[in-house]
Amino acid sequence: MRPAKRFLGSRALATLVATVIRPFRATLIAGSLLDRDPRLVAFLASGKPAVFLCWHQDFVASLGYLSRWSRVRKIVALASPSRDGGLAAAAALGLGFREVARGSSRDGGAAGLLRLSRLSREASPPSVVVVADGPRPPARVLKPGGLLVARDAGLPIWLLRTSWSPAAELRRTWAKFHIPRPWANAVVRADGPIDVDPSLDRAGLEAVRVEVEARMNALAARADADALARWR
């Protein structure tokens, strides 16, 4: 294995990611002006559990926003067991989440889903946040993991988008990451709740997947436009 690949999968890099994320959250996410979705705020304040889905493109900012609520509600992040999933898990822990469940959409998220299934039977079940297009391309194509969590745990889905202005797009990354520029402000937009019928078969789940993917992309476009209009 090449040294670069070994470093990408190393605990040292995961520790570095978690260390860098903490001041990012403190200085940017916590210090910026946010135009928040009132329906989402009301739901978060209710303390009710849900599955939150966001795209890889804005997952650091979106998880950072949800981490503001982690002291009043337990939120578990779902990450794949891959190398990239390890970095996502490190970012989630650095942002303040108390637990990360590891599972892959390729195998139905067996390990992560088992852990989440156990958590869902607790007296106060946690919410779950899932980076919905997974750790690998293509970007903004919904993987089924989040839907499986919602179906099996009986939780509603909320779609989340955090868009910044001004922001830069890292075009050479597969996810086209959005990076807020200094003194940027944000809008937080949501779509939900979306219920997943527990009796759905594979075909039914695929129909829901297509619908939710379209709604997530429409939400992203709306939030990006709102950020430009609100903070121009």
The pLDDT tens digits of the residues spanning 41-76 come to 999 988 899 999 999 999 888 888 888 786 667 888
Rounded alpha-carbon distances, angstroms, from residue 198 to 3, 16, 31, 147, 154:
45, 40, 40, 10, 7
Judged by average pLDDT, the poorest of 74-88, 125-139, 195-209 is: 74-88
The residues near 147 (Cβ < 8 Å, ≥ 6 apart) are: 157, 196, 205, 208, 209, 212
Given a contact cutoff of 8 angstroms between Cβ atoms, the answer to whether 186 and 33 are in contact is yes
pLDDT at residue number 3 = 45
| Calpha distance 113→55 (Å, rounded) | 20
Question: Over pLDDT 90: what percentage of the chain?
Answer: 31
The pLDDT tens digits of the residues spanning 72-107 come to 678 888 776 666 666 677 777 777 676 777 665 454
Per-residue confidence at 134, pLDDT binned at 50, 70, 90? confident
The residues near 9 (Cβ < 8 Å, ≥ 6 apart) are: 83, 86
In this prediction the pTM is 0.83
Task: Pick the more confident residue, 29 or 154.
Answer: 154
pLDDT at residue number 54 = 95
The segment with the largest mean pLDDT, out of 11-15, 47-51, 95-99, 156-160, is 156-160
pLDDT at residue number 125 = 78
Residue 148 has pLDDT above 60, yes or no: yes
Residue 160 has pLDDT above 70, yes or no: yes
Coil, strand or helix at 119: helix
Average pLDDT over residues 133-148: 88
Average pLDDT over residues 173-181: 84
Nearest to residue 161, comparing CAs of 85, 75, 59?
A: 59
| Calpha distance 161→153 (Å, rounded) | 23
